[in-house]
Amino acid sequence: MASLNKVFLIGNLTRDPELRYVPSGTAVGAFGMATNRNFVTQSGEKKQETCFIRIVVWGKQAEACNQYLKKGSLVFVEGRLQFRSWTTQDGQKKSTIEVRADRVQFLGRPRAAGQASDAGQASDAGPDHLDTYQDEDSSGISSGAPANPKKNSEDSFLSDDINSQIDENMT
């Protein structure tokens, strides 16, 4: 029986990317993405549907997304759907379906590292228009990542429960 798990999306980030590091030093990032679908109903009314998707990126690609993307950035994502489940500290079972990005292509002008996130500012620093960051095999990822990852908030994409699940998947 044939099967295919491939996703192609173009949309805007709904929030700034979040970057963490697993204990092995591998970077893992996440961001929300919104895609729109415009259509006309049978009665002739124009409508728009918005779909919100969670994107997870790994390795140098995650670091590049964190450095150059911000809320509102337009990106093309190629990847696959991934199902994950975990148990919270209070014993609740949780699950999610997200896109595991194999490739992220920047479709707009990215911000320079440390640049203010004013929507009107254009940057000449950073990758050129339409740069692509492709996922690396885990054997090709450097382990020279910082030991203390950025602390995330309660509404973080990468909760400690999810990080423990990621840690288990890495071994």
Predicted pLDDT of residue 70: 94
Predicted pLDDT of residue 67: 94
How far is residue 149's CA from residue 159's CA, in Å, rounded to a whole number?
13
What average pLDDT score do residues 126-145 get?
Answer: 40
How far, rounded to the nearest angstrom, does the alpha carbon of residue 29 sit from its chain's CA centroid? 6
Predicted pLDDT of residue 56: 97
- Can you point out the beta strands (E) in the chain? 7-13, 18-21, 27-40, 46-58, 74-87, 93-106, 132-134
Which pTM does this prediction carry?
A: 0.65
How far is residue 20's CA from residue 120's CA, in Å, rounded to a whole number?
28
Predicted pLDDT of residue 158: 52
How far is residue 132's CA from residue 134's CA, in Å, rounded to a whole number?
6
Greatest distance between any 2 Cα atoms in the chain: 58
Mean pLDDT, the chain, integer = 76
* Percent of the chain at pLDDT exceeding 70: 63
152 pLDDT more than 70: no
Predicted confidence band of residue 108 (pLDDT cuts 50, 70, 90) = confident
80 pLDDT more than 70: yes
Between the alpha carbon of residue 159 and those of residues 7, 33, 87, the distances in Å are 24, 18, 12
With a CB cutoff of 8 Å and minimum separation 6, the contacts of 149 are 19, 20, 21
For 9-19, b where at least 16 C-beta lie within 10 A, e where not — what string?
bebbbeebbbb
57 pLDDT more than 60: yes
Predicted pLDDT of residue 113: 55
Predicted pLDDT of residue 45: 95
Predicted pLDDT of residue 18: 96
For 88-104, b where at least 16 C-beta lie within 10 A, e where not — what string?
eeeeeeeeeebbbbbeb
Predicted pLDDT of residue 111: 56
